Structure 1
């Protein structure tokens, strides 16, 4: 198939493009610069230049590629400052709204039959009920203020993709990434903070995290390109775990001392309301639907083994 990947030079793109090429697809990559053009060419894709926020450029790029499938991996997430969570996600929120609208508009005009979009299954589920959510469970309807714009952008994007007329819309809710190029790569700032005991457990550490290795997320995306049907899929590993469990285990893998524990009010002062949510109230996600319907099984079924290899 002819596949166009938007957002092709990030951590996901570097894993996804070679896999699509190896699977025999004719791969096009939407990039903004000559540097990006050279990078995707080395990975075996054909570059098309466009700024995702410029509808005319996006339309031209999509017409040039003439894809059967578009994969939207547009993000601009760098360092996440939990005290100013909304600022950390502002550029990505815009891409999820305007960038998605531009790609969908171009897709309608060129006969694209399948549209796959990156979403977030790590931070977005409602903080009520059981610890592990399925795709049928709602997103957070009453988020803390710092997380509201991020969740609203995710919900907008998902509704736009799933409701696109004449296009099979697929939403992949990825868990928290780890592995090469991610915020939890070997030597990353986040792992160094854990190593230096600067990443404490807040409150009871009851927030449940669902992880996924970046390579497994890329494999699931290839499966969605080839086998996906309209709908939402959680792309996470088999082992959702509360912070009070995974953080001490990861510290031990790194040869660090056990993380400190601080009460919620101290966590709120240091990391803001969003940081407290991530530590104490987050809900995990089930991958049963993705395994069943996409024919996908993570090669790293648990962060326990996957992170140990990377550390």
Structure 2
């Protein structure tokens, strides 16, 4: 019997989020007993319809986390907790709760997973964390811990969480560094904030637009997570498609698909003043990243290996005009 064929008890923290829902549905469909947590009572029925046992849990309440995990008695814990579903014009404030979930929430979740006897934890992180000018990067590239403003604080929180996942005794830790998610219910999906801004022509190219966005379709991110529950050695994996996307290429391409105007170009200084320093980092400075490790070690085959075809699929099969 292979690892994939064994029935396991899997606790999915954040099981009703954008990635959590397809992960829970797939794991339940494979016959695993899935317990999915949510902080919102109105999401309990969603988790149940996906095939899971639903439980209320506040990821920043130690007692709540410990009770939920210990009661679930999981073999594997999947940590998909974020607070990114509500948009904000202030990038730093938008990340505040997610940063706490990464640092504080991960700490108690890992302790509870250990005490509950879980042998494996799969945790979400981010692939867009490397220093400008570092060239094409893989999972060994040093993170940009001294980045300015909210970029640095977010990267520090992610790395702190990763270290807890990887270093908990007796637990095989797997860190999945997702790229920028696109697809249904994301910012780059029908009705999403970025899609609406691109369609309206209010999202500009920053400087030369040489920042390489690591994109991944939400379905591919979910499938990678399901695979990692039972496959792959402990460690860090980039979860992103085959084609790093310079902002100067993907932004006009998406505008063409959506029928929006060609995006304006603004200087890095103007971008920092109008949108925040993160717009400069992502739009003009972010190095390209590689997905070679996850394809080799988890045997992952992406349904959407290129954002070009993926964008077209998400937005009704349209092509850039």
Instruction: Give the alignment's TM-score, normalised by structure 1.
Output: 0.95
1:299 aligns with 2:303: yes
1:105 aligns with 2:146: no
1:24 to 31, 39, 57: 31
Secondary structure of 1:149's aligned partner: helix
- 1:86 paired residue number: 92
Shift of 1:79: 5.2
Distance 1:79-1:190 versus aligned 2 partners, 3 A rule = farther
- 1:231 paired residue number: 235
User: Are the equivalent residues in 2 in contact too, given 1:70–1:116 (CA < 8 A)?
Assistant: yes
Distance 1:79-1:268 versus aligned 2 partners, 3 A rule = farther
1:126 aligns with 2:131: yes
Whole-angstrom CA distance in 1 between matches of 2:86 and 2:209? 22
Whole-angstrom CA distance in 2 between matches of 1:32 and 1:259? 38
- 1:96 paired residue number: 102
1:45 aligns with 2:52: yes
1:7 to 7, 14, 18: 14
Distance 1:33-1:206 versus aligned 2 partners, 3 A rule = closer
Whole-angstrom CA distance in 1 between matches of 2:57 and 2:68? 6
Shift of 1:149: 1.1
Secondary structure of 1:70's aligned partner: strand
1:199-257 superposed Cα distances (whole Å, 9 cap, x missing partner): 11111001110100000000000110010221000000011011011111111111222
**What does 1:1-311 align with in structure 2 at a 5 Å threshold?**
1-78=8-85, 84-122=90-128, 124-130=129-135, 132-311=136-315
Secondary structure of 1:284's aligned partner: coil
Q: Tell me the matched-pair count.
A: 308
1:84-111 superposed Cα distances (whole Å, 9 cap, x missing partner): 4221110000011111111111111111
Higher relative contact order (CA 8 A, sep 6+): 1
1:255-311 superposed Cα distances (whole Å, 9 cap, x missing partner): 222111112222122112221111100123211110111111110001100111112
Whole-angstrom CA distance in 1 between matches of 2:40 and 2:250? 39
User: Are the equivalent residues in 2 in contact too, given 1:85–1:147 (CA < 8 A)?
Assistant: no
Secondary structure of 1:285's aligned partner: coil
Q: Which runs of 5+ in 2 are unaligned?
A: 1-7, 316-321
After TM superposition, the structure 1 stretch with the greater mean CA deviation from structure 2, 141-150 or 103-112, is 141-150
User: Are the equivalent residues in 1 in contact too, given 2:184–2:190 (CA < 8 A)?
Assistant: yes
* CA RMSD, 1 decimal: 1.3
Distance 1:143-1:216 versus aligned 2 partners, 3 A rule = same
Shift of 1:113: 0.1
1:14-69 superposed Cα distances (whole Å, 9 cap, x missing partner): 11111111122111112234322211001100112221222222121112111100
Q: Which runs of 5+ in 1 are unaligned?
A: none
Secondary structure of 1:29's aligned partner: strand
